[in-house]
Chain A
Amino acid sequence: MQRPDTPRQHTQSQHTQPPDTQPQDTRQTPEAPLLRRTSTVRVPVRGRAWFVERRTIGLVVGCVVAMLGLGFVGLSYGTSWATPGEVFGALTGLEPSVVIAEWRAPRVVAGILFGAALGVAGAIFQNLTRNPMGSPDIIGLDAGAYTGTLLVMTVFAGTSVTVAFGAVAGGLVTAALVYSLSRSNGLSGMRLVVIGIAVNAMVTALNNWLVLRAELEVAMAAVGWNSGSLNGIDWEDLIVPLAVIAVLLVVIGLRASALQQSALGDSIAVSTGVPLERQRLLMVLVGVGCTATVTAVAGPVMFVALAAPQIGRRLARAPGIPLLPAALTGAVLLQLADIIAQMLLAPVSLPVGVVTTAIGGGYLIWLLAQEVRRR
């Protein structure tokens, strides 16, 4: 480079080029290696190291802040706003409040926990089908879990534990049905999605029929969360789902690297040492488990599983469809949707599924258009 000439050239070129083109060019070269070193953080662990993307750390911090903020709003909001002092008093137990601690708090926790579970379930199935539309709510697994729930409720008049088992069984049966219908000359993600959408429609019709022919009382309860709702959830409803979801998240968290490795295609997954069959089975079980556990308590909450993994992936700018961003984004999304659902037609509290469906429906249209254009 001819240093002495640069200023003169620069003034000359100002007429033809955007004025800051040249300084930007010279600035970028020395900065590039710096950027490379700072995009990940190296966390030393006993002579080894764990690399974390800086963006992922940012996302974790951002989501935790959002959850705390939304959580605070969730605890404050109700038939009347609680003051921050009342909320802190209730949380610390200094100023006990049944409304905040027993009514609003479980709802906030459920929003976070169920959102995370749905986000992870979505990420698992989108990885499995290698398709952004291959999420459990789209391919009928929510509806299937709901069928199981309805059957146990109406036919066997089950308790919350048997309802949960019914939901898992319903989800697994639907998964098996979709899988067997879409399996011909190997498995194609798009084929599975299209068949899943059809199965979803049929199972939803079955659900409606089940509700219609049920006893009036049961039917009224069922319709209440037909579209997914966190209304009236209390701590007792949450104990079993909390434990189940925690276990499922730990299990899939330990297999997360194998899950990401599978994204390189079946051949590379196997040749780099992923036990593919076992891994897939585990993924289906955890994915259906998460979906069904949420459905058993809250009904089919649509579109969180579809949208959260894709939003999380873009926010984290991570390769593939990572689990942690999906879980965090899912938690924030469902929490936000639930607050909107409570406020929109206040004092009437809408089912949260109405809000997620309204927002997610638009997203699905956009996604479909993208997929069609790609073909």
Chain B
Amino acid sequence: MTTRLSAQDVTLSYGERVVSTRLSLDVPDGAFTAVVGPNGCGKSTLLRAFVRLLKPGEGTVSLDSRSVSDFPAKALARELAFLPQDPLAPEGITVRQLVARGRYPHQSLLALWTTADEQAVAEAMVTAEVEDFADRPVAELSGGQRQRVWVAMVLAQDTPYLLLDEPTSFLDITHQYRLLALLSRLRDEGRTVIAVLHDINQACRYADHLVAMKDGRIAAEGTAADVVDAALIKDVFDLPSVIVADPVSGTPMVVPE
């Protein structure tokens, strides 16, 4: 397992409120890493530290052994793409225009478009299956469509890393699975995917590397088959459960008692 992106002994806090102390995580290259844990356990905070939205009080987040804070803003944005929980769509923006915003880190001062830019936008729209409504205003779309548009935007950023903060929340179950299938397809194409997921069973099914967090620390990490057992679920989620094999994928499935 190789690792380009890692956090070493980071202390993360919002003002006075400390979320994590001395947290370390190596993100395996080319894998689908899922971060799970109860609300407020510091999953999103960890993701935000990776993309430099939060500066660690101590420790470093590094890419290729270089601290992410030493990267020029656009250079880091060409490596790590991030989909937050609360992106804003400017009023009146169309799908194509929004996806095109993903090209920002590849463009110069005057925002001149290259053929590569145009291609990346077109490909991202095809991959995320949004080209059918490319010229509609984002505000008119359904929740599932809108989320795919945002995914298309981070895809257009054309980065080796995709970080997504709860990308499946607010989606109906069909769209949740479609999105997860899309993320594993991207992993198959060689991208590294790191997603905060709410549903432990979805995480077990899709993740190559599962990170379970509790109270700002990592309770367990590894493949789902290796780490998920009743004791871990009791420890992390405080939920008594039985672990059975998922009848479709064979991965662990948590059934609450």
Interface residues of A (CB under 8 A from B): 35-36, 39, 45, 47-51, 130, 254, 257, 260-261, 263-268, 270-275, 313, 317-321
Contact = CB atoms under 8 A, between A and B. Distances in A.
Lowest 8 A-B CB distances belong to which pairs?
Answer: A273-B77, A319-B93, A320-B90, A267-B84, A273-B74, A271-B82, A48-B112, A273-B105
Interface stretch (B30-38, B96-104, B189-197): B96-104
Given A50-B110, A319-B92, A270 B87 contact: no
A254 B110 CA distance: 7
A273 B90 contact: no
Contacts of A319: 90-94, 97-98
B105 A272 contact: yes
Given A36-B134, A318-B92, A274 B112 contact: no
B1 interface: no
A50 B101 contact: no
Contacts, number: 100
Contacts of B111: 50, 257
Interface in B104-127: 104-105, 107, 109-114, 118
26 contacts: A39-B135, A45-B112, A260-B101, A261-B101, A263-B90, A264-B90, A265-B86, A265-B87, A267-B84, A267-B87, A268-B87, A268-B153, A270-B73, A271-B53, A272-B77, A272-B102, A273-B73, A273-B74, A273-B75, A273-B104, A313-B91, A318-B92, A319-B90, A319-B92, A320-B90, A321-B90
A320 B153 CA distance: 17
B74 A51 contact: no
Contact of B113 (A35, A51, A267, A321): A51
Interface residues of B, number: 41
Contact of B107 (A45, A257, A267): A257
B76 interface: yes
B84 A265 contact: yes
B146 interface: no
B88 interface: yes
Contact of A320 (B77, B91, B118, B134): B91
Contacts of B93: 319-320
Nearest to A257: B111
A235 B231 CA distance: 82
B91 A270 contact: no
Contacts of B48: 267
A277 to B, nearest CB: 11
A268 B107 contact: no
Contact of B53 (A39, A51, A261, A267): A267
B22 interface: no
B74 to A, nearest CB: 4
Contacts of B102: 272
A273 B77 CA distance: 5
Contacts of B52: 270-271
B51 A271 contact: yes
A33 B81 CA distance: 31
B157 interface: yes
B73 A264 contact: no
A261 B74 CA distance: 12
A356 B53 CA distance: 42
Nearest to A317: B92
A49 B73 contact: no
A320 to B, nearest CB: 3
Nearest to B138: A319
B87 A264 contact: yes
Interface in B41-98: 48, 51-53, 73-78, 80-82, 84, 86-94, 97-98
B101 A264 contact: yes
A146 to B, nearest CB: 31
B109 A254 contact: yes
Given A319-B91, A320-B90, 8 more contacts: A36-B134, A48-B113, A50-B112, A264-B87, A264-B89, A268-B87, A273-B76, A319-B90
